[in-house]
Amino acid sequence: MTDIKKGLAGVTVDETAVSKVNPETNSLLYRGYPVHELAATQPFEAVAFLLWNGELPDAEQLAALRRTEREHRALPDDVRAAIDLLPTSAHPMDEVRTAVSVIGARETAGISNVMDAVGTPEENLQRSIRLWAQLPAVVAYGQRRRRGQELIAPRDDLDYAANFLWMTFGEEICTPPQAAEHVEATEAASVPAPSTSSGSSASGGVPDPVVVDAFTRSMTLYAEHSFNASTFTARVIASTLSDLFSAVVGAIGALKGPLHGGANEAVLHVFDEIGTAGNVVPWLDAALADKRKIMGFGHRVYKRGDSRVPTMKAALDTLVAHYDRPDVAELYDALESEFVARKGIYPNLDYPSGPAYALMGFDTLTFTPLFVASRVTGWTAHIREQQAANALIRPLSEYVGPDERHIDGYVADA
Ligand code: ACO
């Protein structure tokens, strides 16, 4: 009997220097740094640089990355045209997947020999940066298109996270200048906040710093998580010496599923179904009787809680206070305590990030594309790592179909 590890559970398939998940200590390290330290202190651009290069950037390197990101953050015309061909009811993950295909086709145009598709390490670093820079416009445009709103152009005076929010919400996300200054002053006194904005602009207000801070933290927490299903998918594709964009397109497909990234969207459907904290017990009775999986709970690797949850829960708490929505926290706490008490299964990152994104104003359908915009950094770091020490990923299977048999003249339409 072959010892089959269903879902590759517990199987170590390769080495990685990108991140380390340790379920024993409930910790997650990006290139050695605890993720909660990165989330509390670093702008997302620095986290992306770290994942790609192995070290945090110095001031010059960070400035250079920010310059490149700004150069590529506008929605390209060909990508917009491709998205506009899709029905507005298309799932935004399909939009993002299509957008990456279009970007990839343009980036790799003219490569006529398939042996050259893989590219050099430096080419793939630059492709990773440009792709990462273009995704916020894709995600933001998708939400605005579904709402019947116009595209918003990026702003050069804002860093990555603030500009992402600006392109999605425009003035809606901006606090009046005085309020913004007040929030920045009070936040600075209590919590070390990531650097998120390069100041105000004549072209608009400043995206609400409380939201920018929570959003930045979520981006960092979602950026990387070792050999999860989508990253492994990307590595499988990269292992065939296909191009980086094909690997990312495959990863997006894997992330869409509700057992993986789609869970942050699914958590909000659960919250909508339950309604208020008082309905948790009867709702859970019925859901468990129906043998439903409760979205946002459980993890293949962590069995005693997801290392990213405390940081994201703290960001959610800040948003709950900021928007004066204690009802969200009550429902969150009630479902968590009831489900953990009954099943001993703990929340994963999608549980706090779903309601946090809803409070920020994102449509539920936009949640998983936000995950893409962040995780593209981890995926591309892994793709380059796979390319650097490649072995075709091709496992074996145990055949359980019919024994050998023969045609013996059989014809279907005889
Ligand atoms: N709700 C109800 N029961 C659960 C849940 C859940 N969320 N998660 C696990 N279980 C139960 C299973 O029913 C199973 O019970 P059984 O042994 O009585 O059959 C047992 O726990 C083991 O579950 P598996 O699904 O086999 O464990 P696996 O390691 O494959 O699952 C997974 C991990 C897929 C994440 C699972 O916990 C799940 O489906 N969770 C909900 C979806 C979700 O939140 N996904 C996000 C993952 S994290 C991320 O992508 C950021």
Can you give the pLDDT at residue 15? 97
Tell me which residues have their CB closer than 6 angstroms to ligand 1: 7, 259-261, 263, 293-300, 343, 345, 348-350
Can you give the pLDDT at residue 176? 61
Question: Atom 47, ligand 1: which residue's CA is nearest?
Answer: 260
Tell me the average pLDDT across 209-218.
98
Q: Measured from the CA of 267, which atom of ligand 1 is nearest?
A: 44
Question: Atom 9, ligand 1: which residue's CA is nearest?
Answer: 298
Per the prediction, the chain carries an average pLDDT of: 93
Q: Rounded to the nearest whole angstrom, what is the distance from the C-alpha of residue 295 to the centroid of ligand 1?
A: 8
Q: Measured from the CA of 228, which atom of ligand 1 is nearest?
A: 50
Q: Rounded to the nearest whole angstrom, what is the distance from the C-alpha of residue 293 to the centroid of ligand 1?
A: 7
CA angle 344, 348, 351 (to 5 degrees): 105
Q: How far is CA 340 from the centre of its chain?
A: 25
The pLDDT tens digits for 153-188 are 999 999 999 999 999 999 999 976 444 444 444 343
The pLDDT tens digits for 303-335 are 889 999 999 999 999 999 999 999 999 999 999
- ipTM for the predicted complex: 0.97
Answer yes or no: is pLDDT of 1 > 90: no
Can you give the pLDDT at residue 203? 62
Q: Measured from the CA of 260, which atom of ligand 1 is nearest?
A: 50
Question: Atom 34, ligand 1: which residue's CA is nearest?
Answer: 259
233, 292, 297, 379, best to mutate for ligand 1 pocket (most atoms within 8 Å of CB): 297
Question: Atom 24, ligand 1: which residue's CA is nearest?
Answer: 300
Question: Atom 31, ligand 1: which residue's CA is nearest?
Answer: 300
Q: Rounded to the nearest whole angstrom, what is the distance from the C-alpha of residue 233 to the centroid of ligand 1?
A: 20
On the 0-12 / 13-18 / 19+ scale of CB atoms within 10 A, 399 is exposed
* Residue reference for tokens 């590529």: 72
Can you give the pLDDT at residue 263? 92
Tell me the average pLDDT across 195-208.
60
The pLDDT tens digits for 376-394 are 999 999 999 999 999 999 9
Can you give the pLDDT at residue 194? 44
The pLDDT tens digits for 278-297 are 999 999 999 999 999 999 99
Can you give the pLDDT at residue 201? 45
Q: Rounded to the nearest whole angstrom, what is the distance from the C-alpha of residue 274 to the centroid of ligand 1?
A: 20
Can you give the pLDDT at residue 180? 44
21, 35, 231, 259, best to mutate for ligand 1 pocket (most atoms within 8 Å of CB): 259
Tell me the average pLDDT across 45-50.
98
Confidence of residue 408 (pLDDT cuts 50, 70, 90): very high
Q: Rounded to the nearest whole angstrom, what is the distance from the C-alpha of residue 294 to the centroid of ligand 1?
A: 8
pTM tops 0.90: yes
For the chain, what percent of residues have pLDDT higher than 90?
A: 88
Answer yes or no: is pLDDT of 189 > 60: no
Question: Atom 49, ligand 1: which residue's CA is nearest?
Answer: 260
Q: Rounded to the nearest whole angstrom, what is the distance from the C-alpha of residue 35 to the centroid of ligand 1?
A: 23
30 and 19 Cβ atoms separated by less than 8 Å:
yes
Answer yes or no: is pLDDT of 216 > 70: yes
Count the Cβ atoms, other than its own, within 10 Å of residue 58.
10
What CA–CA distance (Å, rounded) separates 204 from 210? Answer: 17
Can you give the pLDDT at residue 251? 98
Answer yes or no: is pLDDT of 129 > 90: yes
Angle between the N-to-C axes of helices 326-343 and 280-289, in degrees from 0 to 180, rounded to the nearest 10: 40
Enumerate the active-site residues: 260, 299, 350
Can you give the pLDDT at residue 215? 98
Can you give the pLDDT at residue 26? 86
On the 0-12 / 13-18 / 19+ scale of CB atoms within 10 A, 4 is exposed
Tell me the average pLDDT across 254-281.
95
Question: Atom 36, ligand 1: which residue's CA is nearest?
Answer: 298
Q: Measured from the CA of 351, which atom of ligand 1 is nearest?
A: 44
Answer yes or no: is pLDDT of 34 > 80: yes
19, 225, 288, 293, best to mutate for ligand 1 pocket (most atoms within 8 Å of CB): 293
In three-state form (DSSP H/G/I as H, E/B as E, the rest C), the secondary structure along the chain is: CCCCCHHHCCCCCCCCCCEEEECCCCEEEECCEEHHHHHHHCCHHHHHHHHHHCCCCCHHHHHHHHHHHHHCCCCCHHHHHHHHHCCCCCCHHHHHHHHHHHHHHHHCCCCCCHHHCCCCHHHHHHHHHHHHHHHHHHHHHHHHHHCCCCCCCCCCCCCHHHHHHHHHHHHHHEECHHHHHHHHHHHHHHCCCCCCCCCCECCECEECHHHHHHHHHHHHHHCCCCCCHHHHHHHHHHHCCCCHHHHHHHHHHHHHCCCCCCHHHHHHHHHHHHCCHHHHHHHHHHHHHCCCCCCCECCCCCCCCCCCHHHHHHHHHHHHHHCCCHHHHHHHHHHHHHHHHHHCCCECCHHHHHHHHHHHCCCHHHHHHHHHHHHHHHHHHHHHHHHHCCCCCCCCCCCCCCCCCCCCCCCCCC
**Each residue of 171-182: b (16+ CB within 10 Å) or e?**
eebbbeeeebee
Can you give the pLDDT at residue 188? 37
212 and 159 Cβ atoms separated by less than 8 Å:
no
Q: Rounded to the nearest whole angstrom, what is the distance from the C-alpha of residue 224 to the centroid of ligand 1?
A: 20
Question: Atom 23, ligand 1: which residue's CA is nearest?
Answer: 298
Q: Rounded to the nearest whole angstrom, what is the distance from the C-alpha of residue 357 to the centroid of ligand 1?
A: 22
Length of the chain: 414
Can you give the pLDDT at residue 303? 84
Answer yes or no: is pLDDT of 18 > 50: yes
What CA–CA distance (Å, rounded) separates 161 from 168? Answer: 11
292, 336, 345, best to mutate for ligand 1 pocket (most atoms within 8 Å of CB): 345
The pLDDT tens digits for 87-125 are 999 999 999 999 999 999 999 999 989 989 899 999 999
The pLDDT tens digits for 335-367 are 999 999 999 999 999 999 999 999 999 999 999
